[in-house]
A = this chain, B = another copy of it.
Amino acid sequence: MTKIPVGILGATGMVGQQYIALLAGHPWFEVRYVAASPRSAGKSYCDAVAGRWQPARAWGAGVGDLIVKDANDPSAAVGNCAFVFSALDMAKDKIRALEDSYAGAGIPLISNASAHRWTPDVPVLIAEVNPQHIDIIPAQQKARGWSKGFIVVKPNCSIQSYTTPVYALIAAGYEVRRMIVSTMQAVSGAGYPGVPSLDMIDNIVPYIGGEEEKSEDEPRKILGMLADGVIQNATLPKISAHCNRVPVVDGHTACVSLEFGEKKPSITEVKRVWSAFSALPQELDLPMAPKRPIIVRDEDNRPQPRKDRDADKAMAVSVGRVRGCKVFDLRFVGLSHNTVRGAAGGGIENAELLKVKGYIS
């Protein structure tokens, strides 16, 4: 079987590298095109990332010899890849325009950037939660006059540790009205060089610019409904988020307090729902999909980032400390790998879903 050729925009950055590392040996996809800023353009990929390669894994065969192209030029990608992952790092306006130009050039684009997350006809996709949102693609293409190209984005990494568990409860029939979340986020989320070590030795920082807004708002779009060619955001749950940076390399942890509607599940029922949770990616047996999207830990002191972030290819969400709450109804701790589940791994799973559904070929 011939593999589908893939392009990576922003290939030299940290998320771009993570995409390339995770795609090494992928059964369906193969990296054949890499693009970055004009500064890197013209170099071999190997030279462009010399001394800056961060992933523990190596890139796939042939990637080091690819010549890096200028990401500002979509035409260079045409004919060289069937679709692209976008991990661009520019001003939001510029990213939005550039991503549009790739789609306009007939290239499906799966984006890590936040530029298009609030565009009403662009799905913010967690493959286990809202796979049906991809059905908006034909309307998106029609509205913009795009033939083959389209845009799908993935949400912010901070929400991944609680959105799937909350969705699983909603899907089981329990309304979730309000949530207060406090996150402890890994430094890899800020890229490289990112967070100075003077801020992370014997210290934490109780602030990450823009992160609380994303953590509060994005789940409502993901939990929304398709209607009239747009995604109508859910009105519940209301979310309040405190976002903190802590001295952890990878893995975002969230302490969550939930208020249910009238119908309130027992702790036992919550654990049962989560342990039993399975969705379309599991049914389709997508290569990047975890066997069990939610892993329930019964130990007192889990999940912990270093010990649990790599569960099931770093794609599972680990939850623990499931217990009652004196103010709301339920408390738990959720944990997910921010650069795999929350970034490149999630993007690849999205692409696998789009391929099976015929949007990518």
A326 pairs with B246, CB closer than 8 A: no
User: What are 6 contact pairs spanning A and B, CB under 8 A?
Assistant: A56-B310, A184-B184, A197-B247, A238-B327, A242-B257, A242-B333
Closest-CB distance, A188 to chain B (whole angstroms) = 7
The verdict on A80 contacting chain B, using a C-beta distance below 8 Å, is no
A177-217 at interface with B (beta carbon < 8 Å): 178-180, 182, 184, 187-188, 192-207, 209, 216
Q: Which residue of B lies closest to A240 (CB)?
A: B327
The verdict on A307 contacting chain B, using a C-beta distance below 8 Å, is yes
- A356 and B240 alpha carbons, distance in the complex (Å): 45
Q: Which residues does chain B contribute within 8 Å of A197, judged by CB atoms?
A: 187, 194-197, 199-201, 247
B202 pairs with A202, CB closer than 8 A: yes
**Interface size of A as a range:** 35 or more
The verdict on A268 contacting chain B, using a C-beta distance below 8 Å, is no
Partner of A205, one of B179, B196, B209, B304: B304
- With most chain B CB atoms within 10 A of its CB, the pick from A187, A197, A249, A326 is A197
Stretch in contact with the other chain, from A115-123, A285-293, A295-303: A295-303
The verdict on A320 contacting chain B, using a C-beta distance below 8 Å, is yes
Partner of A321, one of B194, B207, B216: B207
A275-319 at interface with B (beta carbon < 8 Å): 299-307, 310
The verdict on A54 contacting chain B, using a C-beta distance below 8 Å, is yes
A240 pairs with B257, CB closer than 8 A: yes
Kindly list the 5 A-B residue pairs having the minimum CB-CB distance in the complex, ordered from nearest. A182-B182, A193-B196, A242-B255, A197-B200, A240-B327
B196 pairs with A331, CB closer than 8 A: no
The verdict on A79 contacting chain B, using a C-beta distance below 8 Å, is no
B195 pairs with A307, CB closer than 8 A: no
Q: Which residue of B lies closest to A199 (CB)?
A: B197
Partner of A56, one of B200, B307, B333: B307
- A201 and B204 alpha carbons, distance in the complex (Å): 13
Closest-CB distance, A46 to chain B (whole angstroms) = 13
Since A54-B198, A242-B257, A244-B255 are in contact, a sample of 5 more A-B pairs with Cβ atoms closer than 8 Å, ordered by chain A residue number, is A182-B242, A184-B204, A200-B200, A201-B248, A206-B253
Residue-wise, chain A 308-350 has the 8 Å CB interface mask toward B (1 for contact) of 0010000000001100011110010100000000000000000
